[in-house]
């Protein structure tokens, strides 16, 4: 990129960013997507939860389709990383690993990264591909119906995930990653009432076996059909924070009903915004954000072709 002027920069090429790119390009705006190539959606081996794909689709295949669609309508997608945003007259100055440009508006679709259990990258990817390691009970709890399931984590987050999964299978075990399970008495009673087994940590030494995934814990080596880490996530809101945009206590970007942040001309959509971390939800937010962005820009300078 050179020191050029565009209507909109989108940071992040996941489902939210690419949906926004499709909308904005079809609004006949000049659109650049800068994508670091680490969309969480790309890690999905197969989802049967996304409408329109009854046989399922991989995250990589879905993203590839969306990129083609965005580019078909004129959006430019660049592999790189946005390093700095600064407010400037009539928009923003954007500095990235591929150069500098000026944008009338910016949409942040930077997402989050799941915090992982202690396992190397190769094992982690193999476990995901085999469906032995899963991160989203809302997405794929159905797939573990009547299986042996473990939730790895502590506190209210892990307890809530274990209770959610209990609706799919009678065999749910909550294992603390560290020594302390972080549960209070009421949470322990609730898990006991619904039949969730509790095991003290630490947990580690994960391994894939022929038909299961195993780990070592205070009860020895245990095997499960699937493991759900409930360890939280890292929210990628640094660019918004650097501009002084309002964020939640957990770091999610605060937006209004039209996906506007507290900074004029800055919008956000997808998992970086507090809400349901689902592809369909991210895409819906992106459609709202793109339409708001287009209409806001039009108030400044009507789009007459």
* Domain definitions of the chain by residue range: 4-113+233-300, 116-230
Reference 157, options 247, 90, 250; nearest CA is: 250
Contact of 289 with 12, CB cutoff 8 Å: no
4-113+233-300 and 116-230 share one CATH topology?
yes
Q: What is the secondary structure of 103-146 as a DSSP string?
A: EEEEEE---EEEPPPS--HHHHHHHHHTTSB-S-HHHHGGGGTT
CATH code for the part of the protein at 4-113+233-300? 3.50.50.60
pLDDT in tens, the chain (305 residues): 556 899 999 999 999 999 999 999 999 999 999 999 999 999 999 999 999 999 999 999 999 999 999 999 999 999 999 999 999 988 999 999 888 999 999 999 999 999 999 999 999 999 999 999 999 999 999 999 999 999 999 999 999 999 999 999 999 999 999 988 999 999 999 999 999 999 998 999 999 998 999 999 999 999 999 999 999 999 999 999 999 999 999 999 999 999 999 999 999 999 999 989 999 999 999 999 999 999 999 988 776 55
Element containing residue 25 per DSSP (H, E): helix 15-26
Indicate the CATH number for domain 116-230.
3.50.50.60
C-alpha angle 285-40-151 in degrees, rounded to nearest 5? 105
Overall pTM surpassing 0.85 (yes/no): yes
């Amino acid at each position: 990129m050179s020191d050029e002027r565009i209507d909109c920069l989108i940071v992040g090429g996941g489902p939210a960013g690419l949906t926004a790119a499709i909308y904005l390009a079809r609004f006949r705006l000049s659109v650049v997507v800068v994508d670091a190539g680490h969309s969480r959606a790309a890690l999905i081996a197969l989802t049967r939860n996304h409408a329109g794909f009854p046989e399922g689709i991989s995250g990589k295949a879905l993203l590839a389709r969306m990129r083609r669609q965005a580019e078909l309508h004129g959006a430019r997608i660049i592999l790189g990383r946005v390093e700095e945003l600064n407010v400037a007259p009539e928009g923003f100055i954007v500095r990235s690993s591929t150069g500098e440009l000026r944008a009338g508006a910016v949409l942040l679709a930077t997402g989050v990264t799941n915090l992982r259990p202690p396992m190397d990258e190769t094992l982690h990817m193999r476990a995901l591909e085999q469906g032995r390691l899963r991160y989203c009970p809302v997405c794929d709890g159905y797939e573990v119906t009547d299986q042996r399931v473990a939730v790895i984590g502590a506190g209210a987050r892990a307890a809530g995930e274990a209770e959610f999964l209990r609706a799919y299978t009678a065999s749910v075990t909550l294992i603390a990653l560290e020594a302390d399970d972080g549960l209070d008495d009421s949470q322990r009673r609730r898990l006991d009432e619904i039949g969730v087994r509790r095991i003290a940590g630490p947990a580690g030494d994960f391994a894939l076996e022929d038909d299961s995934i195993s780990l070592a814990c205070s009860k020895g080596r245990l095997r499960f059909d699937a493991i759900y880490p409930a360890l939280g996530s890292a929210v990628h809101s640094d660019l918004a924070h650097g501009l002084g945009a309002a964020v939640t206590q957990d770091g999610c970007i605060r937006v209004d009903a039209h996906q506007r942040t507290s900074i004029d001309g800055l919008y956000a959509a997808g998992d970086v915004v507090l809400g349901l971390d689902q592809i369909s939800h991210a895409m819906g937010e992106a459609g709202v954000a793109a339409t708001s962005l287009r209409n806001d820009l039009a108030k400044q300078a009507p789009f007459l072709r």
